[in-house]
Structure 1
C-alpha cells in the first residue's frame, strides 16, 4: 500500500505546465490522482487534449483529466489566448510540437471532482498553475472546502517585482483577477509562488540537450518544446540565459516548502483601474495576527534546479 501523498494539478497546459507535469510524475513522494484543466496559455479544450497526450507520452494514461471552467468568473464568453501568448507557447500551447498519441478519454467535470475530493480526502496537495477560476468556483459551491483543503500552493502574482502582462499584473492573476481576489480573501491558507521567485530559476539549453541525448520520444519532445520556449526568452529577455521555470517551481514548493523563503501576508487583488490584476497586501488586514498567505520571496535555485532535472529524467524513464 502506497504512503505517497495525493497530488492534484490544475493546469492551463502550455510549455511550463508540461514541465511541471513531468516534475510531478517524477516525484516519488506523491501520487498524481488527477489533473484539472484551465485556460490561459491555451483554451480549456486544448489544455484537456494536451494533458491527455502528455500523460500518454510519459506512460501514465491512467491519471484522470477533468475539464475545468472555460472563462473568467465575470466573462460572458470562453477565453481564447491572445496573439502574444500564442507566440510564447505556440499555437498548440506546446511550442508547435506534438507529443504523439491520441486523446482516448472524455474528460469529466472538474468541479464535481474537486467537491468530492475535499469531502472524501484529507491532506491533498492542490497546485493551480493557471488562473484561480476553478478554485474560486469550488469555494463558492462548497464553502466548507476552505477548511477542508490544506495550504494551496499556486503559481501566480508578483509582490515585489513588476508584472509580466502589465507593470503591475502577472498573467495568471490578470486572466481572472476576481477569482484570485476571492481566493485570497476567502481565508483559505495559500502559498503564492510568483514572479518574485520564478524568474530566479532558469533552465538553459545544456539541460534540454541532455533530454534529447536520452534517445527516447518523450525526451526529444520535451527538448524540442522547451527549446522553443528558451528561444522566446532569448529574444525577449536575453540576459536571463534560458527560460524561467514558473510552474515547476510551484509544484516543487508545494512538495518541499523549504525550497522557498516566504513572507506571511494577507493579500488582495486590485480589480479596477491601471493596477487591475495587482497582488498587494490588503490594508484592511495588515494588523491581523493571522496571515492567510505565504508569499515566496527567496528560493534555493541550485537545489531546485538539481531536483528538477533529476525528477524530469525519472519521468522520462532514465
Structure 2
C-alpha cells in the first residue's frame, strides 16, 4: 500500500526510510501516521465490513476531495479498497476538556460557520447529500434485515419527525465533531483548527451538526454532566452566527435564543441517531475496538431523559427497556 503511494509523493529517495505510528483508534476505523523520509502521510483503514454498509464510503471520499478543493482538508494521495492515504495534518487532536476553553469555542464555531457557508456546486448536490432522516430509514431497514429488536427506535421516529423535520436548513455539515476529529495547530498566533474524518459529512442539517457537537462535549463515555450549559451554548452560538454573517455582525438576542432553543431540541436526534448506529454495530460488527452496546444504551437512556425535559407531554407513557 505504501509502495503504491510512493510515485505520488515528492522528494522521496530510491530506498526511503519508512516509520509507521498508530495515531488513533476511533470507534470504527484505524489511522496511522507514516513518515517516508521527510514526508508525512496519514493512512486510514476502514474497520469491519459492516462499517462499509452503515457508512457511505463514496460520499465520504467525495467530501474529502471537496474539502481538499476548498482548502479545508488534507491533500489526497491515494485511495485503495479499504481506505485511503492523505497528507498528514500537523497538530494534535483535542481532548474533551478543550471544548470548554473560550479560545477553542471561538475557533470551532468560526470553522463550523465556514463549513456551513460553503456553496455547493449544483451538480454535486445529489451525490453529497447526507439526509439524516433517509440515513435513519436505511439503518432501520438494515437492522430489520438482521432481525434485530429495534422496536424502541421505530416507536420514536415519527415523533422526532413531527417535532424536528420542519426545521431543516441544509448546508455542508460534518456531523461527527468529537474531540478526536478536531485537530489543533498552535503554530500561528491564534492557532487553527481543522476538521477531519468525513464519514458522516455531507450536505445536511446545520441544527443537527450544532447539537451533535454539543453532545460530543460529553466524550465517548458520555458523561452528560459535561454537556454545555446554556451560557456556554450561547457563547458558542454568538461566535457561530457572527462568522456566519457576511458582515460579521453579532446576532440580536431574539435570533440567538431562537437558534439555541432549536439546537437544544436537536440533541434528541443526536442521541437517537448514534443510539441506533451503535445498536446495529453492537449486534453485527466483529470489531472489538469500542463498546457499542454500552454506548447505544447510554445514548438512548439520555434520549428519554432529555425528551422528558424538553417534550414532557410526549413522555408520560415511555417504556425505556433497552
> How high is the TM-score relative to the length of structure 2?
0.28
Tell which has more relative contact order, 1 or 2 (C-alpha 8 A, sep 6+).
1
| Structure possessing the higher radius of gyration over alpha carbons | 2
> How high is the TM-score relative to the length of structure 1?
0.28
